[in-house]
Amino acid sequence: MPLVRPLWAALLDLAAERDCGGCGRPQPSGEPLCPGCDDLLADGGPWRTLAAVPGTPRTHAVSRYEDPVRTMLIGYKERGRTDLRRVLGRALARAVAQTLDDAHTFPAAGGGRADRRVALVPMPSQRKAVRERGADTTARLARTAARTLREVGVPVHAVPALCHARAVEDQAGLSHDQRRQNLSGALRARRISAVAASSVVLVDDISTSGASLAEAARALRVVGVPVLGAATIAAARVRA
């Protein structure tokens, strides 16, 4: 009897069962989330977020930034749970839809289309983070959200129209004022022609103080591109 199991057998085990990306319970179905955690993304929110930093665009999120959604986001970004991208991207699409709805640019239920194309502009990731993660996780969420919205008739595309103009410190542990100072002038716009004729919605995985979104809106505004609003999967502060 061999001491090492064949590779194909190990792969079948992985396909047959994995842990839920939220609560960690075994998932015999092979789905990335258990029904309870999936419902948190499908049935919660979207809520209007409460930003602590002036200049933050109107933002919606589908969940508070707490477990198990917090665990999902960490698993997706830091622990290689790429299987969570689809469910998280669909949740982001729900938040985008609410932002568009509030601005009266979402297609009517009868099949009408928005007057302008919608551009989802993801918050840019630091080069170091992209190297360590092997991908720009936020940009991938934006593309997944865009595909989800196109399936229901929204003329939307994801455009990486922002990049870092300088290095910034890690935001963890900084106060609201420190976050704002840390990010002031940190971003610049690019690919302006790709978003100039669109309704722009900023997208990110998490909103805490709103400092990142406020800086992104500023960077686009100075080149003449207004921001309609923003959408995130989770937020530290929401209005019930």
Q: Which of 26-30, 45-49, 218-222 comes out lowest in average pLDDT? A: 26-30
The pLDDT of residue 116 is: 74
Which has the higher per-residue pLDDT, 122 or 238?
A: 122
**What is the reported pTM?**
0.82
Residues 210-214, mean pLDDT to the nearest whole number: 92
Residue bearing the bigger pLDDT, 44 or 210: 210
- Please, are residues 231 and 201 in contact by the beta-carbon 8 Å criterion? yes
Helix (H, G, I), strand (E, B) or coil at 127: helix
d(CA 40, CA 64): 10
Identify which has the larger pLDDT, 96 or 6.
96
DSSP-derived 3-state class of residue 40: helix
Q: How far lies 152's CA from each of 93, 107, 184, 210, in Å?
A: 11, 9, 37, 29
82-97 pLDDT, tens digit each? 999 999 999 999 999 9
Which pLDDT value is given to residue 97?
A: 95
First-residue to last-residue Cα distance in the chain: 60
Q: Is 8 exposed, middle or buried (0-12, 13-18, 19+ CB in 10 A)?
A: exposed
109 against 68, higher pLDDT: 68
**pLDDT category, 109, cuts 50, 70, 90?**
very low
Neighbouring residues of 193: CB distance < 8 A, sequence distance ≥ 6: none
Q: Which element (helix H / strand E) includes 156?
A: strand 156-158
